[in-house]
C-alpha cells in the first residue's frame, strides 16, 4: 500500500511547470527591447468582444480572454481555433512580436464550447475525492482546450467555501483545507502536464466571506487566514503554479485587489511565487477612488496582468501617465512584464503550433466524467432503491429530460442553460439505456395519469443554474443594489415551489418517491427527505448520467 501511495505521490508531482534559466534569460533580454507602451500593453488583457485581432496587432496587447459564454459563431472547436489563431498571429505581427496568451474559464470542462465533455462541478469532485481521476480530468480538459488553440485556464478554484449561501459554493471542492489543496493541485497538474497553464484562484480568502456574500469581506486573524485559506497557494507554488488570480473579496475590510501585503509581501516575497498575478474581471474597480487611482493602487499592490475587458485602452493610457508622474515605478512595471514574458517563454508560446488535433468530447473523455459523477453521488436511504430495475418507473421533474440543470453554471453561457446542453445525456436517456421500464411524464401532465400503471416515481429536480453572485442566498442585511440574489432562504421548497408542487402531485398518486436533486449545495432538504423514500444528491454532475442511473437502478 505504501508503495502505491509513493507512486501516486510522484505521479501527481510529475510535469509541473518551472521557470527554467533559459526562459528567465530570454525574458530579461526581451524586456530590454521594449518601450514603456509595449510593456504596459503586455500587462493588459481585453475581452474578445471589445478588442479586435487588428487592435491586438496595433497595440501589442498581452492577452485576450473569453468571459463566460463569450463564444464565436458558430460555437465549434474549429471556429474557436480559427478565432484564437487569428488573435495569436496578429500579436506575432505586432511591433514587439510577443505572443498573446488567450484565457478561458474551463472550470468543469471546456465548458463554453458546444459538445465539450462537461465534468462535475468541484463540489461533486470533493465528494468523489479521487486524486488520480481529478488529475486525469485536468489532462482531458487541457486536451479539449488545445483542440481550440487555447493554453490558459482560469482554474482551479482553490476556495475553501465556508458558507453555502455563497453563489460560488459549488466551485469549491470543500470546506476542508487539506482536501481543497490536494484536489486543486491534482487538477492543476493534469492541466499543466498537457502544457496548459493553470490559475489557482481567487487569492485570497474568497470562500470565507461574511454571510457567504460574493465579493464580501473575510474577517479573520492573519493566523486563521494562513491556516485555512493560504495552504492551497503554498502547495500550488511548490508544484509549479505560474499564474494566480486575485479575489474580488476583502480581508478585514481591505480589498484584495489593492492588498500589497498579501500579494507582494506574502505571495511573491515570502512564498517565492515567480509567475504572474492576474486581476479578476474589472476587479480593480472594487477599489476606492477614480479609475486612475484604482490602477495605481492595484499595480503597486503587485498585480501583473489586468483583466480590463472593456476599458483596456483607457487603462493603458492612465498607467503610462502614472509612470510618467512617478506614481508607479518603472521597476514595478519591469517586474510585472518580466514575469509575464518568462511564463510565455516557459510555455513555448513563442513557437506555438495550432496543429494539435486533440480529441474533443469523445466517449473516452465522457467515461471519465461519468465515473467522477457516479463517485460524487450521496444517497439518503439506499434501501429504497432496491430492485428498482424491475419496477415500472414514472419519471418526472424539470431536470429529468433537460440537461441544463445537471450541468449548472459556467456551461455554454456564463449563467449556464435552462435547456438541453449539446452532447449531454439526461437521466431519462440513461435510465432507458440501462433497460429500465421507465415512462417520462412532464410535470404538467401528472394529474392525467393512472398511478396503477406504475410501481414507483422518480423526480429529478433542484436548483436553477447560476454563477457567482447570481447564486448568493442573502439572509442578512447586505446592500445588493445592482442585482437580485438567488433567494432569501435556504429552505428548498420556499426557493423552488415548482418542485414542491411536483412532490405534492406525486404524493396524491400514492406512489413511493425517489427524489434526484441537482444542486450546488445542500439546501434545507429536511421536508424533501421526509417526503421521499430515497433522496439522491447528485450535486452538479455535468454532461454524463450513466453512472447516476446505474446507482438509482441498484446496479454496480
Number of residues that bind ligand GLC (CB under 6 A): 8
Residue carrying C-alpha cell 450521496: 378
Residue 339 parent element (H or E): helix 330-346
Instruction: Measure the CA–CA gap between 436 and 23, rounded to whole angstroms.
Output: 58
Distances (CA, A) of 437 to 389, 392, 506: 7, 5, 18
Q: Give the max Cα distance, the chain.
A: 82
Nearer to ligand GLC, 202 or 297 (CB): 202
Instruction: Measure the CA–CA gap between 187 and 198, rounded to whole angstroms.
Output: 8
Nearer to ligand GLC, 384 or 408 (CB): 408
The minimum distance between CB 353 and ligand GLC, in angstroms, equals 26
Instruction: Measure the CA–CA gap between 109 and 117, rounded to whole angstroms.
Output: 6
User: x-or-dash pattern for ligand GLC, window 175-214, by CB under 6 A?
Assistant: --------------------------x-------------
Nearer to ligand GLC, 280 or 346 (CB): 280
Show the cell assigned to 30: 526581451
Of the candidate residues 59, 154, 312, 493, the single one contacting ligand GLC (CB under 6 A): 154
448: exposed, middle or buried (C-beta count within 10 Å: 0-12, 13-18, 19+)?
Answer: exposed
Asked if 68 touches ligand GLC (CB under 6 A), the answer is yes
Instruction: Measure the CA–CA gap between 399 and 191, rounded to whole angstroms.
Output: 31
Nearer to ligand GLC, 77 or 283 (CB): 283
The minimum distance between CB 12 and ligand GLC, in angstroms, equals 24
Closest by CA position to 191, among listed 278, 104, 272: 104
The catalytic residues are: 280, 468
Of the candidate residues 43, 63, 105, 345, the single one contacting ligand GLC (CB under 6 A): 105
Show the cell assigned to 360: 474533443
The minimum distance between CB 205 and ligand GLC, in angstroms, equals 14
The Cβ of residue 518 has, within 10 Å, a number of other Cβ atoms equal to 28
Of the candidate residues 166, 281, 493, 518, the single one contacting ligand GLC (CB under 6 A): 281
The minimum distance between CB 232 and ligand GLC, in angstroms, equals 15
Nearer to ligand GLC, 162 or 438 (CB): 162
Asked if 466 touches ligand GLC (CB under 6 A), the answer is no
The minimum distance between CB 498 and ligand GLC, in angstroms, equals 29
DSSP 487: B
Asked if 67 touches ligand GLC (CB under 6 A), the answer is yes
Closest by CA position to 211, among listed 167, 154, 276: 167
Nearer to ligand GLC, 286 or 370 (CB): 286
Residue numbers at the binding site for ligand GLC (CB under 6 A): 67-68, 105, 154, 201, 280-281, 468
Amino acid at each position: 500500500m505504501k508503495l502505491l501511495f509513493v507512486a501516486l505521490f510522484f505521479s501527481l508531482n510529475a510535469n509541473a511547470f518551472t521557470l527554467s534559466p533559459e526562459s528567465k534569460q530570454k525574458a530579461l533580454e526581451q524586456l530590454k527591447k521594449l518601450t514603456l507602451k509595449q510593456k504596459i500593453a503586455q500587462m493588459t488583457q481585453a475581452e474578445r468582444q471589445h478588442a479586435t485581432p487588428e487592435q491586438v496587432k496595433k497595440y501589442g496587447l498581452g492577452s485576450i480572454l473569453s468571459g463566460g459564454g463569450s463564444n464565436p459563431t458558430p460555437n465549434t472547436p474549429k471556429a474557436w481555433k480559427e478565432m484564437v489563431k487569428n488573435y495569436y498571429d496578429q500579436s506575432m505581427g505586432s511591433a514587439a512580436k510577443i505572443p498573446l496568451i488567450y484565457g478561458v474559464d474551463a472550470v468543469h470542462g471546456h465548458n463554453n464550447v458546444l459538445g465539450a465533455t462537461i465534468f462535475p462541478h468541484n463540489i461533486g469532485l470533493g465528494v468523489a475525492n479521487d486524486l488520480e481521476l481529478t488529475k486525469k480530468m485536468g489532462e482531458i480538459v487541457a486536451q479539449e482546450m488545445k483542440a481550440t488553440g487555447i493554453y490558459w485556464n482560469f482554474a482551479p478554484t482553490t476556495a475553501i467555501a465556508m458558507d453555502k449561501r455563497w453563489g460560488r459554493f459549488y466551485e469549491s471542492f470543500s470546506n476542508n483545507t487539506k482536501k481543497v489543496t490536494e484536489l486543486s493541485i491534482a487538477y492543476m497538474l493534469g492541466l499543466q502536464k498537457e502544457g496548459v497553464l493553470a490559475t489557482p484562484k481567487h487569492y485570497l480568502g474568497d470562500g470565507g466571506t461574511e454571510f457567504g456574500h460574493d465579493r464580501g469581506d473575510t474577517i479573520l486573524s492573519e493566523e486563521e487566514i494562513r491556516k485555512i485559506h493560504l495552504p492551497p497557494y503554498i502547495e500550488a507554488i511548490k508544484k509549479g503554479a505560474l499564474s494566480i488570480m486575485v479575489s474580488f473579496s476583502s480581508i478585514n475590510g481591505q480589498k484584495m485587489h489593492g492588498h500589497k501585503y498579501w500579494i507582494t509581501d506574502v505571495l511573491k516575497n515570502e512564498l517565492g511565487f515567480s509567475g504572474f498575478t492576474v486581476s479578476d474581471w474589472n476587479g480593480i474597480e472594487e477599489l476606492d477612488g477614480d479609475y486612475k487611482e484604482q490602477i495605481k493602487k492595484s499595480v503597486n499592490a503587485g498585480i501583473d496582468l489586468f483583466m480590463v475587458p472593456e476599458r483596456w485602452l483607457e487603462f493603458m493610457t492612465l498607467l503610462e501617465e502614472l509612470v510618467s508622474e512617478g506614481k508607479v515605478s518603472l521597476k514595478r512595471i519591469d517586474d510585472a512584464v518580466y514575469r509575464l514574458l518568462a511564463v510565455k517563454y516557459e510555455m513555448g508560446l513563442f513557437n506555438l503550433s495550432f496543429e494539435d488535433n486533440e480529441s474533443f468530447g469523445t466517449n473516452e473523455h465522457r467515461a471519465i466524467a461519468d465515473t467522477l459523477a457516479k463517485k460524487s453521488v450521496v444517497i439518503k436511504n439506499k434501501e429504497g432503491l432496491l430492485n428498482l430495475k424491475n419496477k415500472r418507473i414514472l419519471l418526472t421533474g424539470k431536470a429529468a429530460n433537460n440537461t441544463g440543470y445537471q450541468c449548472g453554471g459556467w456551461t455554454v453561457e456564463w449563467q449556464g442553460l435552462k435547456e438541453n446542453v449539446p452532447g449531454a445525456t439526461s437521466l431519462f436517456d440513461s435510465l432507458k439505456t440501462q433497460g429500465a421500464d421507465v415512462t417520462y411524464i412532464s410535470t404538467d401532465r401528472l394529474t392525467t395519469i393512472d398511478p396503477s400503471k406504475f410501481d414507483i416515481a422518480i423526480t429529478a429536480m433542484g436548483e436553477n443554474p447560476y454563477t457567482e453572485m447570481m447564486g448568493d442566498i442573502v439572509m442578512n442585511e447586505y446592500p445588493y443594489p445592482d442585482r437580485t440574489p438567488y433567494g432569501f432562504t435556504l429552505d428548498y421548497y420556499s426557493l423552488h415551489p415548482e418542485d414542491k408542487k411536483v412532490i405534492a402531485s406525486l404524493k396524491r398518486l400514492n406512489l413511493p418517491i425517489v427524489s434526484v436533486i441537482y444542486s450546488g449545495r445542500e439546501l434545507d432538504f429536511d421536508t424533501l427527505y421526509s417526503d421521499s423514500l430515497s433522496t439522491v444528491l447528485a450535486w452538479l454532475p455535468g454532461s454524463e448520467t450513466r453512472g447516476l442511473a446505474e446507482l438509482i437502478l441498484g446496479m454496480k
